[in-house]
Amino acid sequence: MKNKNRKAKIAIIGPYPPPYGGISVYIKRIKNYLEKNHIECTIYNESKIAGYENIINIKPINSYKKFIFIIPFLKYNILHFHSTNLKVHMLLGWYRFFGKKILLTIHGESWFSQLAELNLVGRYLLLLSLRNIDKIICVNSRIKKELLYLGFDSKKIAVIPAFIPPTSNEIEIKQLPDFFHKIRHKHKILITANAFRISFYKNQDLYGIDLSIELMKRLIDNGYKDIGFIYVIPDIGDYDYFKKMQNLVKKYNLKDNFHFYTEPVAYPAVINMCELFIRPTNTDGDSLSIREALMLKKPVIASDASKRPEDSIIFKNRSIEDLYIKITDVINNYDEYRTKIKNIEFEDIAEKTLKVYREGLNEK
Q: Taking residues 262-266, what's their average pLDDT?
A: 93
- Judge whether residue 148 has pLDDT over 60: yes
- Residue-wise pLDDT for 43-59, tens only, equals 999 987 766 666 789 99
Task: Tell me, rounded to whole angstroms, the distance of Cα 296 from its chain centroid.
Answer: 17
In degrees and rounded to multiples of 5, residue 247 shows phi and psi of -65, -35
For the entire predicted model, the pTM comes to: 0.88
Helix (H) or strand (E) holding 277: strand 276-279
Virtual CA dihedral for 53, 289, 130, 57, nearest 10 degrees? Answer: 20
* pLDDT score of 5: 40
Confidence of residue 4 (pLDDT cuts 50, 70, 90): very low
- Judge whether residue 364 has pLDDT over 80: no
CA–CA gap between residue 43 and residue 249 (Å, rounded): 40
Task: Tell me, rounded to whole angstroms, the distance of Cα 345 from its chain centroid.
Answer: 19
